[in-house]
Structure 1
Amino acid sequence: MKWRVINSGIGRAADNMAVDEAMLKAHAAGKVPPTLRFYGWQPAAVSLGYFQKAVGEVDMEACRRQGIDVVRRLTGGRAVLHDAELTYSLVVSEKQPLVPATITASYRFFCQGLLAGLKELGVEAQMSMPKAAYGQVKRQPASAACFDAPSHYEVSYNGRKLVGSAQVRKEGVILQHGSILLRFDPPRLASLLRLPTPEAQEAFVAMITKRAVSLHEAACREISWDEARRAMEAAFGPALGIELTADSLTRGEQAAAKELAAVKYMQDSWNLLR
Structure 2
Amino acid sequence: MEPGTEAAAALAPKRTMDPGLSWRIVSDGALSGAANMARDDALAQALRPGTGIVRFYRWSPATLSLGRNEPLTARYRDFLRLNPGIGVVRRPTGGRAVIHDRELTYAAVLPARACGGPREAYRRVTRGLVEGLRLLG
Instruction: Assess, with a 3 A threshold, how the Cα gap between structure 1 residues 112 and 22 changes in structure 2: closer, same or farther.
Output: closer
From 103, 115, 121, the counterpart of 1:85: 103
CA contact (8 A) 2:50 2:111 kept: no
Q: When the two structures are aligned, how many residues end up with a matched partner?
A: 115
From 16, 37, 46, the counterpart of 1:17: 37
TM-score by length of 1: 0.37
Task: Measure how far apart 1:105 and its partner are.
Answer: 2.0
Q: Report runs of 4+ in structure 1 exceeding 6 Å deviation.
A: none
CA distance in 1, matches of 2:79, 2:34: 19
CA contact (8 A) 2:54 2:132 kept: no
Task: Measure how far apart 1:56 and its partner are.
Answer: 3.9
Equivalences for residues 1-274 of structure 1 within 5 A? 1-27=21-47, 30=48, 33-58=51-76, 60-64=77-81, 65-96=83-114, 99=115, 101-102=116-117, 104-106=118-120, 108-110=122-124, 112-113=126-127, 233-234=133-134
* Higher Cα Rg, which structure: 1
Instruction: Assess, with a 3 A threshold, how the Cα gap between structure 1 residues 36 and 9 changes in structure 2: closer, same or farther.
Output: same
**Structure 2: runs of 5+ lacking an equivalent:** 1-20
CA contact (8 A) 1:49 1:75 kept: yes
Percent of aligned pairs sharing the same letter:
35
* Residue in 1 that maps onto 2:11: none
- Alignment root-mean-square deviation, CA: 2.9
CA distance in 2, matches of 1:32, 1:10: 29
CA contact (8 A) 1:26 1:32 kept: no
